[in-house]
Structures are given as C-alpha cells and as structure tokens.
Amino acid sequence: MTEATNKKNMIQLDMDHWAPKPQDVFHFDIKPFLFQELMLKETSFRESLEDIDWNIYQNKHVLVHCSNQAIIPYWAYMLISNYLTNVGAKVYYHLNTFEEDILIHNFKSSDFSLYKNQRVLLKGCSLKNVSPKAYIEITAILTPIVKSLAYGES
C-alpha cells in the first residue's frame, strides 16, 4: 500500500493505489457479435460466446458495452455476465463510471484495519476524474476505523 508518514505523524494514503491497473481492465464490446453490426441474432450470438476462451478475463475487471447504437436485449448482458462471473471476473456496465466503480470496489475489498486509531491523510488530486462519490465511499469506510481523517497533500 502506498503510504508515508509525514512530520505531523499522519499516514498518507494515495488514491492511486486503488485505481484500476490497465492490465486488469478489459472491454467486452458486443458490436462484433451483431449481424451487420445492427442486430443480435440469438443462435449465432450464443454460438459465438461458446467459442470464446473466457479464461483471458479471469480475475479481471470487464466493462461490457456496445460501441454502436444497437439495442441489445438484457438477456445478452446476462449471458455475457454469466460467462465472465464463472471465471472470477468483476463485470461492469456503465462506460462513464467504469473506472470509478472499480476504484470503489477496490476500496470495499481492502483491509483498512492496520489504520485503526491512526491519523490518516488521504492524498487528493492524484487521480483525474474522481467524483465526490469516491471520496464519500472512502470516508465512510475509514471514519469508523481511524482516529482522524484529513484530505490534502503532505
């Protein structure tokens, strides 16, 4: 974990530590599986999914989306999610919040007990495009554990 103790005896936590790593993030675009890139044909779609080596997504974060304006039935997302979940992938949908959703997932999967009753400084401004939602989530996780929580730069 990225941390450092500064002059004020605070432990500094860098939000970058929980950010998604490029090698752990995949995009699964449904567009190539569409007939003439317009519509989904169930039989050929199911057959195509059976031919994929889903193990390449094992323990990865996968954004499932369609890069064109085709209307995709919900069952198609469910089917893809089923394949991905079976190999331990974490599945996401919303393109605009994908990276932030991973960041929050990583917060919730972390053990912060070593910061019990410690003074913690959450390093800000390191990540681009982090909304207040991520800061609210990390604050909700850390507040019951730490002695004090501050935001800023050391």
Q: Per-residue pLDDT tens for 51-88?
A: 999 999 999 999 999 999 899 999 999 999 999 999 99
User: Which pLDDT score is estimated for 15?
Assistant: 85
User: Which pLDDT score is estimated for 2?
Assistant: 44
Q: How far apart are CA 113 and CA 108, in angstroms?
A: 12
User: Which pLDDT score is estimated for 115?
Assistant: 95
User: Which pLDDT score is estimated for 82?
Assistant: 98
Residues of the chain with confidence (pLDDT) below 70? 1-8, 125-129, 154
Burial 108-142 (b: 16+ CB within 10 A, else e): eeeebeebeebbbbbbeeebeebeeebeebbeeeb
Strand 3-5 to strand 11-14: parallel, antiparallel, or no bridges (unpaired)? antiparallel
**Structure token pair of residue 92:** 């996401």
